[in-house]
Amino acid sequence: MYRDDFVRRMQSPGGDRRTGRSMHLDIPLLLILAALCLSGLFVLYSASGQSLYLVKRQAVFMLFGFIAMITVAQFPVRFWERWAILFYLIGLFSLVAVIFFGVGAKGAQRWLDLGVTRFQPSELMKVVVPMTISAFLGKRYIPPSLQHIFVSLVLILLPVLLIVNQPDLGTAILVFASGFFVLFLAGLRKRYLVSAFLLAMAAIPSLWVFVMRDYQKQRVLTLLSPEDDKLGAGWNIIQSTTAIGSGGLTGKGWMQGTQSQLNFLPESHTDFIIAVLAEEFGLIGVLYLCALYFIFVGRCMLIALNSQSQFGRLIAGSLSLTFFIYIFVNMSMVSGILPVVGVPLPLISYGGTSIVALFLGFGILMAISTEPKRIRMEL
């Protein structure tokens, strides 16, 4: 009896969360998630030009996401640690398959057609790569040795290069970042960090010359001076900043945003959806969303901090950081402080695979959060 009570108290530091815990669900995370999803659907309805069809599809994706999240959360953390390498291999295989069987749009081949639906293996790698690196480093000494760093980098770069090749620079950078965050959180020595930084700086020119496509270069140039090409590449940035700025403090009202409703805003229901929100709900809407995101990321980081295993810490930490980077990159590019890269706004932008991939990550976070407390003393 005493022991049961003790365990229960240790398992529920913040009070009685028996229900959530028994279903392996983190209630605060779930609530914020629900709030984000509903807000997302609300904005999407307006951003898609009142397309109930798209909203329904998005809702179905979210439902799938919730199911996937809950399913993933039921597996013990150790399961994911053990099988990470298998998912990694499957992911890598899918990326190779995309080269041969992939379908695409706008000159990029990113999707695999599964008959029922199309899915984007690169999105999955955003979860699988940090999971694999976490599993690998979780069992090793920290800070990671040079040898382990090297192995980790190889594991990261294999899928990243495949994704760059699609080409999908935005996703590739995010996948790379999600893997690199694991290395960083694992305690990568400062000298390696500094040399990595210097290496990255040195690599930018060659990246510019050899890796980046013309349209990608154009996006960077456009960022620097959007007015040079008002109707071409600069159009997106000019129209999105106009949408945001014209929203003011309180916005023009739901479905009243002229920039988005009259199609001045490109990609208004996908990558640029934040501009619709900013135009129609003003700074108040933006701050509301930022607050939700901030609480969400904070909760994720808390889960990481409280994790029982090194694997759990690393993967949870990396996933929260990646999630933040999503938000940061998207909001920055739409408001014109970063070049336009194809990064959707998590949970708000329309897009199936991205949502499902996100929810898979949240599932792992929930598994970690509801992991039974190991009592060191017992060992």
Partner 1 sequence: MIHDAAFSDPARERRIFAGRLFLTALVITVMAVVVVFRYVDLQINRHQNFATHSDNNRLHVRPAAPSRGLIYDRNGELLADNRPTYNLTIVRERSKSLDELLATISDLIEISDEDINRFTKRLKRRKPYEQTPLKFNLTEQERGVLAVNGFRLDGAEITARLTRFYPNRELFAHVIGYVGRINERESQSIDSIAYSGTDSIGKIGIEKYYEEQLLGKVGSEHVETNARGRVMRILESVGPAPGDSLTMFLDSRLQKVAYDAFEDERGALVAIDVKTGGILSIVSAPSYDPNLFVSGISQKNYSQLINSPDRPMFDRAIRGQYPPGSTIKPLFGLIGLHNNTITMDYTINDPGYFFMEGIERPWRDHNSKRGGHGRGVDLAEAIIESCDVYFYKMSVKTGIDLLSSYSELFGLGNITGIDLPGERPGIMPSRDWKQGAKQEAWFNGDTINVSIGQGFMLATPLQLAVMSARIASRGKMVTPQLVHSINGVSKVSEVTTTDLEINSEYWDYVHKAMRDVVHSTKGTAKGISRGLDYEIAGKTGTAQVISIGAEEEYDSSKIDKSKWDHALFVAFAPVDDPQIAIGLIVENGEHGSSAAAPIARQVIDAYMKSRPEKDSLLLASDSATQQGGR
Under the rule (CB under 8 A), what is the footprint of partner 1? 139-143, 184-187, 239, 241-249, 258-259, 262-264, 278, 282-283, 286-287, 290, 294, 297, 301, 304-305, 310, 313-314, 317, 321, 324, 328, 331-332, 335, 337, 376
DSSP 344: P
CB 71, min distance to partner 1, A = 26
Choose between 109 and 246: whose C-beta lies nearer to partner 1: 246
CB 245, min distance to partner 1, A = 3
Q: How far is Cα 220 from Cα 224, in angstroms, rounded to an integer? A: 7
Q: How far is Cα 31 from Cα 33, in angstroms, rounded to an integer? A: 5
DSSP 228: G
CB 143, min distance to partner 1, A = 7
Choose between 187 and 253: whose C-beta lies nearer to partner 1: 187
Q: How far is Cα 182 from Cα 52, in angstroms, rounded to an integer? A: 40
Choose between 218 and 242: whose C-beta lies nearer to partner 1: 242
Choose between 169 and 185: whose C-beta lies nearer to partner 1: 185
Choose between 96 and 142: whose C-beta lies nearer to partner 1: 142
**One-letter amino acid identity for 53?**
Y
Q: Could you tell me if 361 and 127 are in contact, meaning their C-beta atoms sit under 8 angstroms apart?
A: yes
Residue 272 phi, psi dihedral angles, 5° rounding? -100, 20
Choose between 111 and 293: whose C-beta lies nearer to partner 1: 293
Q: Which of 306, 221, 365, 212 is nearest to 13 (CA)?
A: 306
Q: Beta partners for 119?
A: 112
From its phi and psi, is residue 106 left (phi > 0), alpha (psi between -120 and 50) or beta? Answer: left
CB 239, min distance to partner 1, A = 8
CB 205, min distance to partner 1, A = 25
Q: How far is Cα 338 from Cα 328, in angstroms, rounded to an integer? A: 10
Choose between 18 and 139: whose C-beta lies nearer to partner 1: 139
Q: Which two tokens mark 279?
A: 């135009």
CB 165, min distance to partner 1, A = 29
What DSSP element (H or E) covers 318? helix 310-334
CB 56, min distance to partner 1, A = 25
